Amino acid sequence: MSRSGPPHAPRRRVLVAAAGLAGVAGLGGLAAFRTAAASHGLLLRTRAGLAFGTTVALTAAGSDAAAIEAALMDGFAAMRAVEAAASLFRPDSDLSRLNRDGVLDAPDPHLVVLLRFALALAAETAGAFDPTVQPLWPIWAGAATRGGRPDGGTLGDALGRIGWRRVRLEPDRIVLTPGTALTLNALIQGYAADRVIAALRERGIGDAFVDTGEFGASGTHPDGTPWRLGLADPRDPASLAAVIAPFTGFAATSGDYNMSFSDDRADHHIFDPATGYSPDALSSVTVTASSGLLADGLSTACMVLGRELGARLIAGHPGCTVRFTDKIRPDRRRL
């Protein structure tokens, strides 16, 4: 891995614009959805807001307006809880405090779930996914503002502080080796989609489409047909490259266009922990899975592993699917 990131600049925007996946609004529009819901005796409500440094939106259908509104409130509360645990956009989050202090007692349960999964995926991928790549972020961001790339010495120093074995997860404590910093940006939005869908179901909402920066869907479209999910073209995000239909479960996309340090997108926010540079074989990877956490982590791991090794990784997770988009290099675009 991984997606590294700042606590400031937004990493992605909703739907076709940059997320790599076009959701509800990209495939028909909310007005059409409300009309379809009404024709079947259902109500449809959508609530949008900001979370994880981006725009998020939750859509739910049902027959009880009060239950829908309560469910949407619970969905946003679920996202806020995940942010409080593990968002780098919040300086008061448990993760931000851990990075500052190097140790955290009584960590938030959400942080523990995320970190346990991250370390397991790091082991499974022999470190291709690694939550300790955060030290690379300020180096690349600073070099990009100067119009260049990090020098070898600076990059080498950062690489010396990267390695998932530098993290110790104890029963009620997390300890980092000095100089280590974590990012869970490659997991947090997919995990949030899991928590939101769970919150909606607890309120009895079976038909829902959620966009937390990654996507989840349950039940069906208000007109009774399956949900559909559009995949944006990584080189023309306003256009669809494909549509997943039917879409239920969860989907996540990792790509070189969400945040780039170079105009040709050779340098971007996903890093190979072995080299400190961005992987250069793929423009994007979309994974569908039974959980958003799994889809999010696998999509980032596949960006680093490449098509062949990434396909092997996906094959080891029954029920998952993957779509690879190869890197389009500037000197080949006219061929």
Cα-based torsion angle of the residue sequence 309, 313, 314, 315 in order, rounded to the nearest 10 degrees: 100
Integer Rg of the chain from CA: 20
In CATH, the number for domain 15-76+194-330 is 3.10.520.10
Among 18, 16, 14, residue whose Cα is nearest residue 59 = 14
Mean pLDDT of 68-75: 98
Partnered with residue 321 across adjacent β-strands are 288
Sequence-distant (≥ 6) Cβ neighbours of residue 288 within 8 angstroms: 244, 247, 249, 250, 251, 295, 320, 321, 322
pLDDT of residue 262: 73
Q: Is 186 annotated as a binding residue?
A: yes
**pLDDT of 27 above 50:** no
Q: Is 183 annotated as a binding residue?
A: no
pLDDT tens by residue, 144-188: 888 889 898 999 999 999 999 999 999 999 999 999 999 999 999
pLDDT tens by residue, 86-126: 999 999 999 999 999 999 999 999 999 999 999 999 999 99
Q: Is 59 annotated as a binding residue?
A: no
pTM for the predicted model, two decimal places: 0.88
pLDDT tens by residue, 236-255: 777 888 899 999 999 999 98
- Percent of the chain surpassing pLDDT 70: 86
Other CB atoms within a 10 A radius of the CB of residue 76 amount to 17
Other CB atoms within a 10 A radius of the CB of residue 103 amount to 12
